[in-house]
Amino acid sequence: MTTAPLRFGVIGVGVIGRQHVQRLLSYPGDAALVAIADMSADAARAVAGEYGTTAAESVDDLLARDDIDAVVIAIPSGLHADMAVAALDAGKHVLLEKPIDVTVDAADRIIAAEERSGKVLTVVSQRRFAPENSFLHSAIRSGDFGRITSANIEIALWRSQEYYDSGSWRGTWKLDGGGALMNQGVHMVDLILWLLGDVEEVHAYGGLLAHERIEVEDTIAITARFASGAVLTFLASTASYGDFPIRVAVMGDAGAAVTLDERFSHFRLESGADLPDFEPVDVGLAGLDDFVNAVRGGRSPLITSREARAAVAFIEAAYESMRTGQPVTPR
């Protein structure tokens, strides 16, 4: 038996939206790209011409089409909730770029719309699909590391001034929602919450140290305590020339592991068990597969709206702490 493909639209065809267009056009599974739209109709037409697909006249026209079942939303972060709510209310399933939006209140509006629509929504968090991270997740869950005592994340990247100057929304509180932590670091916030669970308290120092003409932080150092009692240190920076490998370390009383750009550099278990072999995975494609299968199978996607909300709650708490100097409990 063959099923009709899940019919997609893409909203927002900038840097990342174009990648979604390409991925959908070459998708080997049962999904198809039907049309794209952008606030700039010219941009939509240009991208449609380049890739051989169809541009809708406007986002409203795209959302009104009944030959589209699902949309990818890839517009500036602070506009995610308005667009996701409109799409859900128009009866579309939603694959939403990260972060879910830039505030917990906006995330809550999405969750309410998701619940009333009965549609599937997921938020992109592609690092979870790396096999090394899936392995870490299972190993922690099955107790291989014993009691987890601490973790450390370092995402010390370099973003040039030209990067921030490349779009008027970049580096603004309203539309980017923050800097190194909200834009780049959110991937690692999501990952560590997925690995180690809820966070009870967050304390942060940060600031704008090496860029101009932006409002947000380019460097932030955070300490936090998980509900389990484990402690976390977390550095996020876009002011670290040289783009260091992203470091994830998880320490327990029966094992510890460190990954650098998702490759294990240290792995030691009291049990003596060793690492399996990891086959490379196209994490973007795996995320699309997960979403398509969630819609098809009527199951939750790997990254739920509530989990994506928790990442933003952690970040909001870090920013409040950065401003007030006080520890903050995420909402």
Ligand X SMILES: NC(=O)c1ccc[n+]([C@@H]2O[C@H](COP(=O)([O-])OP(=O)(O)OC[C@H]3O[C@@H](n4cnc5c(N)ncnc54)[C@H](O)[C@@H]3O)[C@@H](O)[C@H]2O)c1
Q: Which is nearer to ligand X, 96 or 230 (CB)?
A: 96
* 264 beta partners: 259
CB of 70: closest distance to ligand X in angstroms? 16
Q: Closest CB to ligand X among 81 and 120?
A: 81
Contact residues toward ligand X (CB under 6 A) are 11-17, 38-40, 43, 59, 74-77, 79, 97-98, 124, 126, 167, 183
Shortest spacing between CB 99 and ligand X, in angstroms: 7
Tokens read off for 110: 């999405």
Q: What is the dihedral of CA 222, 223, 228, 230, to 10 degrees?
A: 120
- Cα distance between residue 256 and residue 78, in whole Å: 37
What's the closest the beta carbon of residue 57 comes to ligand X, in angstroms?
12
Q: In what order do the strands lie in the sheet with 70-73?
A: 31-37, 6-11, 70-73, 93-96, 121-123
The nearest distance, CB 82 to ligand X, in angstroms, is 7
Q: What is d(CA 85, CA 155) in angstroms, rounded to the nearest whole number?
A: 31
Sign of CA dihedral 308, 312, 318, 324: negative
Q: How far is the CB of 78 from ligand X (least distance, A)?
A: 8
**For residues 98 and 211, which CB has a smaller minimum distance to ligand X in the complex?**
98
- Residue 205 in contact with residue 322, Cβ under 8 Å? yes
Cβ-proximal residue to ligand X, closest one: 14
> Nearer Cβ to ligand X, position 60 or 105?
60
Q: Which is nearer to ligand X, 140 or 288 (CB)?
A: 288
* Sign of the CA dihedral running 174, 179, 183, 186: negative
Q: Which is nearer to ligand X, 38 or 154 (CB)?
A: 38
Q: Which two tokens stand for residue 3?
A: 């099923």
The CB-of-255 to ligand X minimum distance in angstroms stands at 30
